[in-house]
Every structure is written in structure tokens, then in C-alpha cells.
Amino acid sequence: LPFALDHVNIYIVDDGNGWAIVDTGVGDDRTETAWRELLAGPLSGRPITCIIGTHYHPDHIGMAGWLTKTLSVPLYMSESEFLIAQHFETHRGAVDGYHRRSLYRRHGMDEDLAAGVIGKGHSYQRLITGLPENFIRLEHGNNVTIGGRRFEVLTGGGHSSDQVMLFCRDDNLFLVADQVLPRITPNISVTALEPLGDPLGRYLSSMATIQRIVPPDAVVLPGHDWPFADLHDRIDKLVAHHRARCETIAQACRLRPHNTLELMPLLFRRSLDLHQLSFAFTETLAHVNYMVAAGDLHWITSGPYWTATA
């Protein structure tokens, strides 16, 4: 990947006479070259049977359009992940439109900073190779068979809209995508598409769902970094991390009302480039929206910026 997080994991799953592919990499020339080499080399003996896209982020489905068209295979996704991908692919203003600028302005940024964070042009469209016209739905509670393995489909919100995860109970093998990562905390962000949304609340409830369905000793295959085997401990740590951030926000807002831009450095202490700042800002807002939804904070919307107070 051409970002600070420099790689994404894709999984090529034995599908009997062929291979099923879970996630695809970002849609750029370098990744296309890697796929061409894989298809002509190690994967050339058997056909690709399908592409499974875990969620709409371009590092995961960037090459899905190219692969499904080149190989004439279907794309499996959850409905809302497919529709949001289509929204970003086809809506010219999805990334740099007025609604995104007004989200940043409302929560404390001046014009210049908002413009800098949004950047120029449509970065999502630059990072994907289009989408097929249709898809096959994966839904929480479904089962899918890939080769000799039966996978239970789990979906969960927070990191994206309704991210797909696959659990093979017989082999105790869990493809978790970006919902739980071993080193970094998955980004949990409010989006301009749903400015009052509560992605952190949806994420925390997804963590409880995973702990209920998947055993603590499952072998976990994530979307970034390495496989791991302490799923429940890792989830406990992630939940504690977000609860600690909420407490930091609560303490600040008990002293005086704060807008989101003022709260951000309390949660993200290192210096951030504009790209990192956009994630830090919308993740801070996710914590505030969660606390507002829980009744722990409320918004004061009368000033130039919305501020949160306890």
C-alpha cells in the first residue's frame, strides 16, 4: 500500500477445483502487476472461483473490479458495503463535497484546515478499479462453503458499515478482516455520509458478538499485520482503549465544553500529518457521538462550533 500502513493481507482460500480470493489490495498499477504475476504463476493451475470483499475500503476492494471483469467471477459482499462502495465510486462529491466540509467546519476546523484535510479530487476513485454491476449478498448468520470448509458469516459495524468476517468452526479459523487487528486499533470514524452516526457503539456491540460466537483460542487471520491467537484478550484491550478515551473526554467536558478539534490532541498526542489528522478527527468525533448517544454528553450547537458538555 502507498500509505504509512504499507500492506494489506489478502487470503487465497482452497476452493476445491479453484481458489476463492478474500480481499484484493488497492487499485493501482503495482498491485495489478502483482496479481498478473500471481495468476500466471502460483495460481495458474486452478481457476479463481470468486472474490469476497470484506468491506468497501479501497485497500480491500480496490482490485475487485479488475479481478471480477478479467476473470469473469462474482463479487461477494454485504449489501451495505457494496452500496457504500458504489456511492463512493459514482458520486462525484462523495469525498470533497460540501457535506464533508461542513462536518469538519461544524466540529472546530477553519476553512483552510478543512480544505487541507479534504485534499484535492476524489481519492477513493483513484484507488479502485471500478465495481461490477451486481454482487452476491453475504449476511450475518449465513453459511458459505469454500472447498471443504464451511464458514459462518459474521458482519459488524464500526470500522466500516457492515464488515464481513468468516469463521470456520471445524478448523477454528477466523478471517476477521479489519474488525480486530493485532497491533493497531482499527479506525472507528464518523463519516460525512452519517454525521450523527454512532460507529463506536456499533463497534463495541460487534466486539461482544464476536466474543459470543468465536472461541478465544481461534486462529485469527486479520486484514493487516500478522495472524494471532488471543482474540478475546485483544478485544478486551481494544474495548478498554476506547473506554479510556471516553473517560478522557468526559473529564475535559466536565471542566468546560469542548469542540472535537479541541478534544483531538487529548486522544492523539503525537504530531499528525493531514491524512492522519482526518482519521484522528473523525475518530475523536466517534467517541463524542457515542457518549452523546449514551446520554453522558450533550451538544451545544448555538456557537460557531458544536461543543460537547457533560
Residues of this chain that interact with Zn ion (CB under 5 A) are: 57, 178
Task: Give the nearest distance from C-beta 177 to Zn ion in angstroms.
Answer: 7
Distance CA 233, CA 39 (A): 38
Task: Give the nearest distance from C-beta 164 to Zn ion in angstroms.
Answer: 12
Stretch (H or E) spanning 52: strand 48-52
Task: Give the nearest distance from C-beta 159 to Zn ion in angstroms.
Answer: 6
Distance CA 19, CA 228 (A): 23
Query: Which CB atom, from 156 or from 257, has the smaller least distance to Zn ion?
Result: 156
Task: Give the nearest distance from C-beta 160 to Zn ion in angstroms.
Answer: 6
Task: Give the nearest distance from C-beta 199 to Zn ion in angstroms.
Answer: 12
Query: Which CB atom, from 68 or from 161, has the smaller least distance to Zn ion?
Result: 161
Q: For residue 300, give the amino acid letter.
A: I
Query: Which CB atom, from 114 or from 176, has the smaller least distance to Zn ion?
Result: 176
Q: Output the CA–CA distances (angstroms, integers) from residue 35 to 1, 10, 126, 141, 303, in the order listed.
A: 14, 11, 18, 31, 52
Distance CA 166, CA 21 (A): 13
Instruction: For residue 287, give the C-alpha cell.
Output: 467517541
Distance CA 307, CA 262 (A): 9
Query: Which CB atom, from 180 or from 277, has the smaller least distance to Zn ion?
Result: 180
Task: Give the nearest distance from C-beta 207 to Zn ion in angstroms.
Answer: 16
Distance CA 102, CA 255 (A): 27
Q: Judge residue 296's burial from the number of C-beta atoms within 10 Å of its C-beta, 0-12 exposed, 13-18 middle, 19 or more buried.
A: middle
Query: Which CB atom, from 23 or from 198, has the smaller least distance to Zn ion?
Result: 23
Task: Give the nearest distance from C-beta 61 to Zn ion in angstroms.
Answer: 10
Among residues 61, 9, 67, which one has the least CA distance to residue 35? 67
Region at 260 (left for phi over 0; alpha for psi -120 to 50; beta for the rest): alpha
